[in-house]
Copies of this chain bind each other. A is one copy, B any other.
Amino acid sequence: MTRRALPPLNGLRAFEAYARSGSMIAAAEALGVTHGAVSRQVRGLELQLGARLLTGPKHALVLSEAGRELAKALTPAFDLIAAALPGAGPSEELVVSCLGTLSMKWLIPRLPAFLDAHPGLRVRIQESHAPVDFSAGGLHAAIRVLSAKSASAYRAVTIMPLHHGPVLSPALLAETGADAERLLRLPRLRSETFRPAWDLWAQGQGVALPSGVTEREFEHNSYMLEAAAAGLGVAVTPWPFAQADIERGRLVAPFGFQALAERFVYLRPPYGDHPAAEAFGQWLAREGRRNARPPAAVVTLGAK
């Protein structure tokens, strides 16, 4: 086995991007990094090669002779690689069943990042709450909420824990004040898809919900959340459903969020080997890890 001494490949990629675009900043954008990163990579490559690739004053850099030579080979080489990547042919479609609200509020907004990173892959999301049935075929994976025990019956990976808590519009909070008792007397919003949310939360917090409070029920979590954002009352919802709205300031969660025993899991048929489904699962778990931390409470229950 001949031993080939190649310089750092990431440096080559950065240099090639620079050579094609003619500017650090443009290359940085093409690679999705900052200009400083490209600058370092190119510098590191020059050091490694022991040769100058760029010359001239730094506001008007120009490829050196050696740099031109190298770039002339790099571009076709990378093109060759890109053309040979699997998935260059007809794109494969991954079919995933997902809980409706999770899909709308969490998955779809993140999906472009996955698709960008996996060109030649398409993902079709089917919304469903029904128990997962892979036997019908045509479905490669599913996302559900399950307890650890139920999940163990499947080939499952945990995406993220399930934290839930009450959310409302900032305006309604301001009007009511940061007072736990008053907040719990605001109209309660429920979703048909998960009626016990409020009771489960109250039980977990060890508080009793005052009775005689207006309740409104919605067909879906997403309607309920819209209503909450519109200031109609307080909804108890999983953190991933509210995360984007909270970060944008459309909703606030004065009591923070509480962990439930269930988790969001990614399920696959117990048989078969589907690399794209596997990659999607890994990516989901990663995204889940990056976003699993809900904000803490700012209003204490039981405090006056």
Interface residues of A (CB under 8 A from B): 1-7, 9-10, 12-13, 17, 20-21, 26-27, 29-30, 46-53, 66, 69-70, 72-74, 76-78, 80-87, 92, 116-119, 121, 273, 275-276, 278-280, 282
Q: A73-B83, A87-B49 are in contact. Are A78 and B275 (CB under 8 A)?
A: no
Whether the pair A51, B87 counts as a contact (CB closer than 8 A) is yes
- Residue among A84, A118, A273 with the most chain B CB within 10 A? A84
Closest residue to A3 on the B side, CB-wise?
B30
Contact status B81-A273, CB under 8 Å: no
Alpha-carbon separation in the docked complex, A3 to B26 (Å): 11
Contact B1 A47 (CB under 8 A): no
Contact B87 A81 (CB under 8 A): no
Known A48-B117, A85-B7, A282-B47: A1·B21 in contact at CB below 8 Å: yes
B80 touches A121 (CB 8 A): no
B49, B74, B85: the one contacting A86 at CB < 8 Å is B49
Residues of B within 8 A of A4 (CB): 30, 78, 82
Q: Which residues of chain B come closer than 8 Å to A282, judged between CB atoms? A: 47
Q: Tell me whether B1 and A26 are in contact (CB under 8 A).
A: yes
Residue of B nearest to A83 (CB): B73
By the criterion CB–CB under 8 Å, are B69 and A73 in contact? no
Contact of A81 among B52, B74, B275 (CB under 8 A): B74
User: Could you list 8 examples of A-B contacts with CB < 8 Å?
Assistant: A1-B26, A1-B27, A5-B117, A50-B92, A51-B276, A52-B275, A73-B81, A77-B78
* Residue on B nearest A31 in the bound complex, by CB: B3
* A6 contact from B73, B81, B116, Cβ within 8 A: B81
> A80-B77, A83-B73, A85-B70 given as contacts; is B49 within 8 A of A20 (CB)?
no
| Complex Cα–Cα for A119 and B51 (A) | 12
Q: How far is the CA of A54 from the CA of B48 in the complex (A)?
A: 32
Docked pose: A116 CA to B7 CA in angstroms: 11
Chain B's nearest CB lies how many Å from the CB of A147?
A: 28
Since A1-B26, A47-B282 are in contact, a sample of 10 more A-B pairs with Cβ atoms closer than 8 Å, ordered by chain A residue number, is: A3-B30, A4-B78, A5-B117, A9-B13, A49-B275, A50-B86, A50-B118, A52-B273, A70-B84, A74-B84
**B50 engages A121 (CB within 8 Å):** yes
A282 to B47 Cα, complex, angstroms: 8
- Chain B's closest residue to A66 (CB) is B86
Beta-carbon nearest neighbor of A84 in chain B: B73
Q: Which residues of B contact A86 (CB under 8 A)?
A: 49-51, 53, 66, 69-70
Say yes or no: A116 contacts B47, CB within 8 Å.
no
Contacts of A48 in B (CB 8 A): 117-118, 279
User: Are A20 and B6 interface neighbours, CB within 8 A?
Assistant: no
* Given A1-B29, A20-B1, A82-B6, also A278-B13 (CB < 8 A): no
User: Which single residue of chain B is at the shortest CB-CB distance from A4?
Assistant: B82
Residues on B with C-beta less than 8 A from A66 are 86
